[in-house]
Amino acid sequence: MIPVFLLAASLGLVHALPQSTHVQPQASTFAGATSTALFPPLGASVTATDTFFLDGSEVGFPGPTPTGDESNAIATAPAIAKMDNMFPLVAPTIKSGSSSSFNPLDHLGNLGPWQSVSSLGLPNSSPVIPSGCSLEQVHLLHRHGARYPTSGSAPSAFAAKVQSTATGKGFSASGALSFLNTWTYKLGAEILTPFGRAQMFDLGMAFRVKYGELLDDMTDLPVFRTTSEARMLDSALHFSAGFFGVQEYQNDYHQLIMIEAPGQNNTLAPFENCANANNAVANIGSTASNAWSEIYLAPTLKRLSPLLKGFNLTITDLVAMQQLCAYETVSLGFSAFCDVFNEDEWNGYEYAVDLSFWYGNGPGNPASSAQGIGYVQELVSRLTQTRITSFNSAVNSSIVTNPVQFPLNQSIFVDASHDTVISTIIVAMNLTSFAANGPLPTTHIPKGQTYFVNQIAPFGTNLVGQVLSCPASSEPTHIRWILNDAVVPLTGIKGCKPNSDGLCDLKTFIAGMQQRIEEVDFTFDCFGNFTVPAPDNIVDGQFPKNLRK
């Protein structure tokens, strides 16, 4: 909120000038300042006690409560409802030189909300169970919901720079950037936003509608997994509230919380136990992204710099402003930063994120497969109902050897993780269709691009493995994978033949995953002291075997 006395003083200065004098917009001294809110507000008196407000079980009188049968829309509906809106977020309006259908929120990479992907190479496929098949089991791996920026990230640094300049002399903004004169930084750090909470509830609700009938096959309460980070746990709980219902979810399943901290084995946060995920090897993604940002934002810097008086605008600032469009939208519902940039600049930003992931957590990073391979080991363990006995990755031996914490006979498995982790798992599984166009150049956006982070790892992204029997029987025979409602081709996995429905023989798929487990050298790729080859032509997320010393 703008301080009333400052606003009044500013208005008074303007009215005091002669009407014929051109007035240069003047920034407030609080521009860029961080503002926060606490609830209950400081000074509020919370006088009532719980004895006055009983919960539902204590009050009673619930009225009729008969339950309906479980739904199975993924098999019974002719089509699946698509996620194609971002309510209640307000889409920006890109004015000059853009097509009427262009929406920047579709080009925010990992910082945009997930939406249904139309196709990942199998345009005639559908997430609906193929005719003649029956669903036996489902594996869900999803990202947390929309969050505030991570601590110390570019948006907060930009706000601090604006505030530092505004408290000096001579700073003002005009034109498309005039809102900066009274802009304050309202974002927290790390935790879910209200929209992010809604994403997870909706994801859980939709999963129950699609796959609820599989609960009939449960012989015990299911175990769902997440990590200990606040946004991760909140995401898991909101998902479960949507899946089971807010009055039931705490009694209808078990929530396993895996510690996310350095030195802790955790397949949902493997970067904590992989040195090369936190050093120069990991930074090649940022280097590639920065190189492209210097190119696509050079005209932008020239265009916007004259609009800021007393402020040294840089490429880093422009990237932060594009990130602020994303973060403010998913946090506050709307952002003035979105309208600052044109269609070409948003396409450039999207590709910068693609570069960051390709070389940082994707096919082009030599430690990607090593980070994702632990989840693949757990997947094989679940599919074969065989305990893991060899521990040479991020797998936590204490958890996976415990049948209570890591059951193998569930019909529904749910794991919550991070964007970077899901991108490494896709590489570890050898889903090569994403890497079909080879190493991404840092000088231009290539034609025929197949690697898009806004399809792979947006907020709320969900990868679903459907275990099927085809033809319908009591024994599983096939498997396929659905990423954000699009069927993924499995032809990169040895033995998996081209199939219009994305189906692969289950035994063949398992053998392909076992081969990947044997191929990946977790110790070397995560802890080896090596230099990433230049040029970096890696496309399988592993350090080249012929270059190992």
Spans of all domains in the chain: 90-167+175-547
Confidence band (pLDDT; 50, 70, 90) for 1? very low
Phi, psi torsion values for 273, nearest 5 degrees: -130, 40
Q: Which helix (H) or strand (E) holds 354?
A: helix 343-361
Judge contact between 73 and 209, C-beta under 8 A: yes
The token pair that represents 323 in the structure block: 């990130």
Lowest mean pLDDT segment, chosen from 29-38, 57-66, 261-270: 29-38
Residue 13 pLDDT exceeds 50: no
**Pairing mode, if any, of strands 134-143 and 412-417?**
parallel
Predicted pLDDT of residue 336: 97
How far is 191 from 469, CA to CA, in rounded Å? Answer: 40
Confidence band (pLDDT; 50, 70, 90) for 18? very low
Q: Which of 325, 322, 331, 317 is nearest to 148 (CA)?
A: 331
Predicted pLDDT of residue 92: 86
Write down the pTM of the prediction: 0.92
Q: Which fold has domain 90-167+175-547?
A: Rossmann fold (3.40.50)
Q: Which of 186, 213, 172 is nearest to 74 (CA)?
A: 213
Q: Which amino acid is at 181?
A: N
What is the mean pLDDT of the segment spanning 300-329? 98
Predicted pLDDT of residue 100: 65
Neighbour tally for 382: CB within 10 Å: 20
Q: Which of 534, 355, 533, 535 is nearest to 543 (CA)?
A: 533
Q: ∠ CA 39-322-156 to the nearest 5 degrees?
A: 45
Mean pLDDT (the chain, rounded): 92
How far is 305 from 309, CA to CA, in rounded Å? Answer: 8
